[in-house]
Structure 1
Amino acid sequence: MRRRLFLAASPLLAAGPALAHPPRQPDNAEAQSIIEEIKTFREKIAKAVTDKDFPTLRAIYADAFTHTHGSGKVDNKDARLVLAMAGEPMIENAPASELSFRVFAGPTVIVTGKSPILNVKEQKTYDFRWVAVYVTGRDGWLLAASQATRLPA
């Protein structure tokens, strides 16, 4: 009897992940609400970078965070925290223009923008086009990845 029940249930057990519902894409009202959350979260990040608030920054960056510099160099979370604590110019707290927000299921939000960033060695400011990816974590939003590309002068 148990064997028959097991055999009858086996196809359902094997199909478990296939029967799971995929995350739902937020509707327009939800997306607008999420965008407002991300705007507030970005302000929190900028303040933490400016204030060199290590505990807040440590909680903001996802453990698997990566940032790709315009030079192609890739930083992980620890390297990015070191730069923030050293007061290096960063997209996280630079003035931003041309912001675009795209909300996906999860929810996940991709933000693109343009910011002037000071090159400390040259003492010259360059415009960078950047992208940042925000994901939901256990305790709220996380910055999961970012990338910056220097624009031609």
Structure 2
Amino acid sequence: MKLVLKYLLLVPCIAGYIYGYPQTIEAQKTVDNINRSIDEAVVKKDVNKLKQLYADDFVFTHGTGYVEGKTSWIKDVENPTKKFTSRVHDSTLVELHDNVAIVTGSLAITRSDADKLVRYGIRYVRVFALRNNSWQLISHRTVKEWHFK
């Protein structure tokens, strides 16, 4: 019985390796790294990088329900009176579907607006699409938001 159980557990592992499981792990790591680099670019106000990583049809749904696109969001990031000082990811999971990746996670965000420090956290769902051999963010939806004192 133990031998049969070991066989049943081992076969899917070997099949996963033969049929692309390592590539899946690499793709998940790639998407996770891009996901994190987007928020690093927001903190650095690296507009050129954001223009590459956001798709032209990018949709950003904030926790308040406000919806904006790529151009509007990048303009907001450029705003000199608003500075994101940190955007730290936690609990990210990447789910792959051919040329689409769904990323869930949370962000702890610190931002200074003029002279006021704002700290809050969000849970998000992000959708990436593989276009022209590059992963681009096509959707960000904040599903929960909370503020720190």
TM value normalised by structure 2? 0.71
In the aligned structure 2, how far is the partner of 1:38 from the partner of 1:80? 21
Structure 1 71/119 Cα, relative in aligned 2: closer, same or farther at 3 Å?
Answer: farther
Equivalent of residue 138 in structure 1, options 132, 135, 139: 132
Q: Which residue of 2 aligns with 1:128?
A: 122
Q: 1:139 to 1:84 in 2, by over 3 A?
A: farther
Structure 1 unmatched ranges of 5 or more: 1-25
Q: Following the alignment from structure 1 to structure 2, what is the Cα–Cα distance between the partners of residues 56 and 119?
A: 20
Q: Which residue of 2 aligns with 1:17?
A: none
Please, what TM-score do these two structures have when normalized by structure 1? 0.69
Q: Does 1:52 align with 2:45?
A: yes
1:125 partner letter: R
- The Cα shift of 1:126 comes to 2.3
Mapped pair 1:113 → 2:105: yes
Residue in structure 2 matching 1:98, options 68, 91, 95 = 91
Superposition misfits of 4+ residues, deviation over 6 angstroms: none
Q: Which amino acid aligns with 1:130?
A: Y
Residue 73 (structure 2) pairs with residue 80 (structure 1):
yes
The change in CA–CA distance for 1:114 and 1:43 in structure 2 (over 3 A counts) is closer
Aligned positions, number: 125
Q: Which protein is richer in strand relative to its size?
A: 2
What displacement does 1:34 show? 0.4
2:45 maps to a residue whose letter is K
Task: Calculate the aligned-residue CA RMSD, in Å.
Answer: 2.5
List aligned pairs for 1:5-44, cutoff 5 A: 27-44=20-37
Offset, 1:129: 0.6
Relative to 1, partners in 2 of residues 1:124 and 1:84: Cα closer, same or farther, differing over 3 Å? Answer: closer
Deviations, residues 63-96 of structure 1 (Å, cap 9, x unaligned): 1100100100001011111122225549xx6101
Alignment match, 1:20: none
**What per-residue deviation string (whole Å, max 9, x for no partner) do you get for residues 30-78 of structure 1?**
2201011112323432332222222221121101100100100001011
